Structure formats: C-alpha cells, structure tokens
Amino acid sequence: MSLNVGDKAPAFEGVDQDGNPIKLSDFAGKKLVLYFYPKDNTPGCTTQACNLRDNYDALLKAGYAVVGISSDTEKKHQNFIAKYELPFPLIADVDKSIHEQFGTWVEKQMYGRKYMGTARTTFIIDENGVIEEIISKVKTKEHTAQILD
C-alpha cells in the first residue's frame, strides 16, 4: 500500500511498551508525528530517538504528539526507553500489521542480499487524521528540524 500526502491515515491500533493500546483515534484533534524505525538500540535508530527526545519540548509546543513504531517487542521497547529516557511511547508492531498499513515493511538490500525490513519513514498526521507530510529521507541527527521546518 502506498500512502500520499492528503490521504487519510490508516486507523492503526497497536500496543505500547507497557501493553497499553494506542490507536490513531487517540490523537483526534492533535497533530501526530508517527515515526517508523528499524530496530531499538542500533546507532541510527538511537540517534533519531535521542534527537526527538532532546527536542521534545519544541515538538510539544508546536502541537505534536510523538509515537515511534518498530517490530521490536514491548520488553525491548521498555529497555530502549529506560536506557535513553525517551518521553514518548513506542509501539511494538511485532506482527508488522501497522507497517503493512503504512507501507513501511519493504524489501531491502544490503551487500547484495535481499531481506524484508522497515523503511525508516515519518508520517506527520494533522488534527483530522490526514497525512500532512511524509518524510522518507530521514536525517537521524536532524529529524526534529525536518519535522518543524
């Protein structure tokens, strides 16, 4: 499935690091930064999460809620959040159902080997659940600037 700016965001539902349900409708009336990343505790993903953490107040002031999604387990998310003091929830999309809804579970290639993995992508969703922006070329060190500019 390919999503475009102006499309209604898929009505996803998942669980966060503590097993609490999170769904798109929870953010009705708010802007949402929904970011998909490959794996907890890897260099690029850690840099990205810490950039969002370090600029979290600016994101909140701009009216955004932030939610991260990877295919890691709730337990791995708990450890990642604790280790880096992340102030936002992470959805454990172990079955990749939300990835499928957003088209972020894709065939990738490294060193000539093909495999399935997460396309690092951020969806900016407006107060009405419409995709306002899709950032597919994420700069992990400057991600907040990409969102706020």
Catalytic residues: 45
Q: Percent helix, strand, coil in the chain (nearest 5)?
A: 30, 30, 35
Q: In 3D, which of 39, 55, 54, 64 has the Cα closest to residue 84? A: 54
DSSP structure class, residue 9: P
Contact 68, 91 (CB under 8 A): yes
The 3-state secondary structure of 26-56 reads: HHCCCEEEEEECCCCCCHHHHHHHHHHHHCH
Asked if 69 and 34 count as a contact pair (C-beta separation under 8 A), the reply is: yes
Nearest to 76 by CA among 42, 34, 118, 116: 42
Helix (H, G, I), strand (E, B) or coil at 75: helix
